[in-house]
């Protein structure tokens, strides 16, 4: 359970591999071949699709909200807490991506108290929110992946 975020990039490299109807009948090598092709397609097209489980979506969404909700507005910000198909429109993604990159660079470069290292991975420290039962955290590399997705998405929708 989580969020599937779909972009609409102007340029797409290659063809997305179709999930095989007979996937369960494939050998391990054939299954691995499909996943390798799918991973390459996703890496070559960072604005096509972004997936986040519910635990990682909360800090990603909060990071986005704190960085650029003033650009796209409170109503849209709240709506992106749910997977109802709303997202940042094409004309605002570049400005939002720039704002998020600036925030991320600031966190990494000048505000180390927001970073926690666990098993060699830099994480954004857990975000405490009284509305949530638990704290959530996300690797900084995942936030960078999100910024890259937004920048390349040409507008996106959260499902």
Rounded to an integer, the average pLDDT of 122-129 is: 61
What DSSP state is assigned to residue 112?
G
Q: Are 152 and 94 in contact (CB under 8 A)?
A: no
pTM (predicted TM-score)? 0.80
pLDDT for 135 = 60
The per-residue pLDDT for range 41-83, each reduced to its tens digit, is: 999 999 999 999 888 888 899 889 989 999 999 999 999 988 8
Number of domains making up the chain: 1
Dig out the tokens for 53 from the structure.
């489980």
Residue 81 domain boundaries: 2-158
pLDDT for 111 = 46
Res. 126: pLDDT tops 60: no
List strands edge to edge, sheet with 136-139.
Answer: 115-118, 121-127, 136-139
Helical segments of 45-111, H only: 54-72, 74-79, 90-110
């Amino acid at each position: 359970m989580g969020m599937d975020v779909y972009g609409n990039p102007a340029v797409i490299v290659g063809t997305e591999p179709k999930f095989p109807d007979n996937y369960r009948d494939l050998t391990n090598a054939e299954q691995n071949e499909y996943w390798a092709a799918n991973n390459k397609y996703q890496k070559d097209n960072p604005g096509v699709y972004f997936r986040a489980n519910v635990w990682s979506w909360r800090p990603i969404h909060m990071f986005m909200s704190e960085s650029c909700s003033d650009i796209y507005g409170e109503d849209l910000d709240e709506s992106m807490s749910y997977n109802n198909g709303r997202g940042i429109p094409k004309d605002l993604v570049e400005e939002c991506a720039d704002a998020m990159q600036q925030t991320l660079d600031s966190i990494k470069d000048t505000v180390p108290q927001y970073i926690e290292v666990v098993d060699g991975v830099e994480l954004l420290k857990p975000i405490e929110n009284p509305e949530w039962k638990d704290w959530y955290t996300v690797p900084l590399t995942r936030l960078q992946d999100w910024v890259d997705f937004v920048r390349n998405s040409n507008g996106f929708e959260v499902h």
